[in-house]
Amino acid sequence: MSKRDEEQEGARDFIAPGYAQAMRDRGFSWNTLASIRKISCPNCGFMFSLTYGRTIACRGCPQATRNCPKARCAKCDHEFYLQEMPHVGNKYAQRSVALHMSNIESTYNEQVGRKRHR
């Protein structure tokens, strides 16, 4: 891997401060940015966002609305901790993103009339 490729790979591991500030100015939180950012499955390499994974792969799982600290690949069903995602990186950010995603899932389920365990 060339030095340029390594720099580009490293640039994808975090949310650029300028982009984060521009989104914050428009009302988006860091948790929202972290939940829509593309990640790749460590098992199969499938690229997806945490929101997509929770919507498709975690449908019906009761932990999806209980601050689950894991992400699940929608293609191969491999589970891994949010903390392993490069742009999350620690247990405090993991907890914050998990809580944010659970709130979104709970609100969505209430709006469409679904119970959380179905």
Q: Which two tokens stand for residue 35?
A: 């939940």
pLDDT in tens, 66-100: 888 888 898 998 998 888 877 777 788 888 888 88
The number of folded domains in the chain is 1
- Answer whether residue 118 is part of any domain: no
pLDDT in tens, 27-74: 888 778 777 888 889 999 999 888 888 878 887 787 877 888 888 898
Residue 96 DSSP SS3? helix
Select from 76, 117, 78, 72 the least CA-distant residue to 98.
72
- Answer whether residue 34 is part of any domain: yes
Which structural domain range is residue 93 located in?
Answer: 3-112
0.85 surpassed by pTM: no
Q: Where are the beta strands (DSSP E) in the chain?
A: 38-40, 47-49, 70-72, 79-81
